[in-house]
Amino acid sequence: MKHIRIIVVIALAAGLMWNCGGERVTQSETGTDEQIGRPLSKLVAHGDAVQAIVRATVHRDGAPISGATLEFSRSIAGQAPDYHWSGTTDDHGHAWVEIKSGNGYYQARASQDGVEIGSWSSIPINAGYEVMLDLPIGGRAHVTGSSMRSLVAIGEGEAVQIRSLLTLTISASLGVPSRNAVELAVQDFGLIHGHAVELGESIDAGCGPEGGHHGAEHIIENPQVLGVIGTSCSGAAVAASPVISAAGLVMISPSNTSPALTSDLAGNASSDYHPGYFRVSVNDLYQARAVADFAYNELGLRRMAAIDDGDPYTMGLTIAFGNAFRAIGGEVAATARIAKRQTDMTSVLAEFAAATPDGIFFPLFDEEGIPFAKQVREHDSLKDATLIAGAALLDSEFLAKPQSEGIYAAGPETDLGTNVNSTTGKSVDDVLAAYEAAYDGFPGTPYWAHSYDATTLLLNAIEIIAGEDDGKLYVDRAALRRELHHTSGFQGLLGTLNCDEFGDCGTGRINIYHHTDLNITDPAQLPIVYRFTP
């Protein structure tokens, strides 16, 4: 556990929105008597905010002043300064100060061993903002930046707040085990600098945009929340990610795989990428390549059909598969798109039968995938076609159905061996044993391990960048994003995780499984017939 001692004092600091630093914010002997020449009405408060954060750097000719007491007072004409808010500079000359007073002009002074070494006056501070101050000894104060508050103060005895945003009803066989693994990870990780971690209520995002959007809006109503584990489905993430991003939070998904959420893996951001979004699951461009290579080179299939339901996951994966299959010489003889919750596949199967494919790729969810597989098996012209499912059907609900027998399924690794999560010290077997004891059975989806790693990745980043002062904890949301982007060599249950500039942190590895025994409903027990590594 990494402890970073940052002496913090909090101030009502906020943003200067009109270039009001420089010439107008100066050091002065007269303090409150000096005026800026700009009415206080020009100061802007953010909503009902009553506090702001000042992040100040005190230095002499560029050399940081450490161990100095930095104090702030409200500037009130005709009154002597009353320094209510103070903090101590660290080795870099930095002090964070929280001021709870309201909009106004402030003055500051720095002292060492009881001797004043510098003073500055007429510093405008706005509630609800974070303002960065440069305070040179013997020079003018400069506002170097301002933004709506990203620093979260966690009081003594208060908990660090994170949330999960997963599917708990629709495709519950994916989301519920993920939520359970999040709970285990929080329990195993323990305290962050003496503060407990609180998950709050479990929020059901469903598997579509409406649930993702509403769930994200609900989460950001609490200004203390630092990050989110979710969503389960790419369709929900498309709507949740922009909300979470705009609020300055981070979001780490255990099972989103659509390329649209991150990048094309060639350095170009995708259409639905938003800063602050991360995932430990594997980008579907890798799964598409794996399925194409397996179908063409291992099974000898040359004519494939593919079906999706129009959402970002299924559509993105079938398009990527088609491109990859054609690139190695295969033919996509037919494609079809069904509606969500469609169960009658008659017209689709007639179209596929006319195309005479020797294989069908169907990366559908349980609700559509279970009836599709059954009706294909009953169709005279297609019953002998090789069926390959995507990761969304790699769950206990589908594997228990008779129509799943003989089907291949592509998805994340389940053969995680003796991997250990470095932040908790728990091995794969340790977490599985705890899961089965706590929740009365095996997870039923391979994404339990992703949820565990996603949660510990978030908590570890919070612990690294958090600052402590007198029992309080301070977490900068912007710094949290930066720390996650710097993730390199993180050892989790999944192996080694590295995050790229667009939030892809997964290993890139894909397995293909063959379901030949209906008595096996645990995905981790399925035989592996193909392994893909980028």
Tell me the C-alpha distance between 360 and 389, whole Å.
8
Question: What is the dihedral sign for C-alpha 299, 302, 305, 308?
Answer: positive
- 338: which DSSP letter? -
pLDDT of residue 470: 79
Least confident window among 48-57, 106-115, 125-134, 470-479: 48-57
203-204 and 160-166 beta bridge pairing: parallel
Residue 149 confidence class, pLDDT cut points 50, 70, 90: low
Which residue(s) pair with 129 in the sheet? 148
pLDDT higher at 23 or 300: 300
Evaluate if residue 418 carries a pLDDT over 70.
yes
Contact of 451 with 421, CB cutoff 8 Å: no
Indicate the residue type of 424: T
Residue 517 confidence class, pLDDT cut points 50, 70, 90: very high
pLDDT of residue 55: 85
pLDDT of residue 122: 87
Tell me the C-alpha distance between 273 and 485, whole Å.
14
Which residue(s) pair with 282 in the sheet? none
The CATH code of domain 160-282+420-503 reads 3.40.50.2300
Q: By C-alpha distance, which of 128, 126, 107 is closest to 18?
A: 126
Tell me the C-alpha distance between 233 and 532, whole Å.
23
Check if CATH label 1.10.10.10 holds for domain 284-411+512-532: no
Residues of the chain with CATH 3.40.50.2300: 160-282+420-503, 284-411+512-532
Q: Which helix (H) or strand (E) holds 509?
A: none
Average pLDDT of the residues in 288-297: 99
Average pLDDT of the residues in 357-374: 98
Evaluate if residue 42 carries a pLDDT over 90.
no
Average pLDDT of the residues in 259-281: 97
pLDDT of residue 383: 93
Mean pLDDT for the chain overall? 90
Structure confidence by residue, pLDDT tens digits, 94-132: 988 888 776 889 999 999 999 999 999 989 887 767 788
pTM: 0.77
pLDDT of residue 16: 32
Q: How many CA atoms lie within 13 A of 54 on its CB side?
A: 38
Region class of 206: left (phi > 0), else alpha (psi between -120 and 50), else beta:
left
Evaluate if residue 156 carries a pLDDT over 70.
yes
Q: By C-alpha distance, which of 191, 234, 192, 238 is closest to 213?
A: 238
pLDDT of residue 77: 86
Average pLDDT of the residues in 262-283: 97
CATH for the 31-149 domain, from 2.60.120.10, 3.40.50.200, 2.60.40.1110, 3.40.605.10: 2.60.40.1110
pLDDT of residue 98: 82
Q: By C-alpha distance, which of 400, 418, 409 is closest to 527?
A: 409
Please state, for a pLDDT cut of 90, what percent of the chain lies above it. Answer: 79
Burial tier of 422 (Cβ tally within 10 Å: 0-12, 13-18, 19+)? middle
Evaluate if residue 206 carries a pLDDT over 90.
yes
